[in-house]
Amino acid sequence: MLDWILALFCVPAEDYHSIGERTCFVVLPHLGISMKVTIFGSGYVGLVTGACLAEVGNDVLCVDVDAEKIAQLSQGKLPIYEPGLEQMIEKGIRSGRLEFTTNAEQGVGHGLFQFIAVGTPPDEDGSAELKYVVNVAETIAEHMQEYRIVVNKSTVPVGTADRVNATIQDQLQARAAEFEFDVVSNPEFLKAGAAIADFMSPERIIVGTDNPRTLELLKALYAPFNRNRDRMIAMDIRSAELTKYAANAMLATKISFMNELANVAERLGADIEQVRHGIGSDSRIGYSFIYPGCGYGGSCFPKDVNALQQSAGEVGYEARLLQAVEEVNSEQKSILLKKISAHYGGDLSGKTFALWGLAFKPNTDDMREAPSRVLMEGLWDAGARVRAHDPEALAECRRIYGAREELTLCDNPDATLEGADALLVVTEWQSFRSPDFQKIKARLSAPVIFDGRNLYDPKMLRREGFSYYSIGRREVVQ
């Protein structure tokens, strides 16, 4: 066996496939010895995983095909914004525990654990595109020279581990090579804006494996994150794969349900914020993810809801609730545009709007599927201009849209107000929660606010002389 394993933990060989008549071992990391880890993919999940594993003493090598990205990462320059990540990566690089490379052979040779953390973008039919996952599996098999644990961290459909297993086995057979390996499902549960805390102090660590030995090795790797109570939940591989999709689909469902209810409340003359407090006090419901707004976005919820719906269809089940969740969300992204159009009698030509918030949520620069994009593009189609600010997503917005006459990106919120006909609030950044309303009123051509996150008090804005439109509450029209 490998030189970092000592004889102590005994399990019958039939549980370990074909590694000998009886194998006994204990993993040294239980005693405080670091492990070697390779991570394929240096995007959001890969970087957070690599940085956090290096932070607790492991020797981590991150592999990516993008040479320019690797060069930047090696200097501590990140392609994404995530609070605390840049500092943690810089610390890992200085300590020598975190390195970056484009050399796949080096990566396969480095780590007992081979994490797959590449993207699974939606295909044309809404299903998850697995070509990058399969490519990594082929790469691992091509260069494998001894036992490896292949850990799938990417969000993938049920059955992907079987496909990865078959891919590696086929590649090894083509090489006429026989090396033992295990494939594990270990989905991530990282919230954008709080990913470091989520990894370092997880609510749960899901591990899907059919091999008791592999489970013990994963327990050893995650021991530093699992000290005050056992957060690891072991299950079969397919259940682990489904758990990730189920979690995101449940959260998306709560959001769409609340937005649906907000639209009903608005028409009935009720206040959805008071309703939210009323139902949230029920411990069976809770307060998390029941905030009404202008829709969810990001790289996870939209993609995962669609992918789960597609997976259900492939086994002959019509997931009608999932379909409704995404349909409600798609409609909700247009709700501010509808309110704006109604206020101005359907004619937005020549209007200028101040927009606060571009990222799909606070504490990230991610604009994938962001409600701000639907709103801005709708305003442009109607002949309006946008003056936008976001604390972190200005560069990302510039990358997506380039230079265009109808978009001005401003370095601070106040600058967006100059020459604007109304203020639009799309992302609930902390810095937007308590603005100077008298300053806003003085700078806007008319005191009008469209609030897509219900940040402000309608009664107070009425007293301040604003027309105020929010989600699921009575309009304030002056």
Residues with active-site annotation: 300
Nearest to 164 by CA among 155, 152, 146, 153: 152
Q: How crowded is residue 305: how many other Cβ atoms within 10 Å of its Cβ? A: 26
User: With contact defined as beta carbons under 8 Å apart, do 388 and 408 qualify?
Assistant: yes
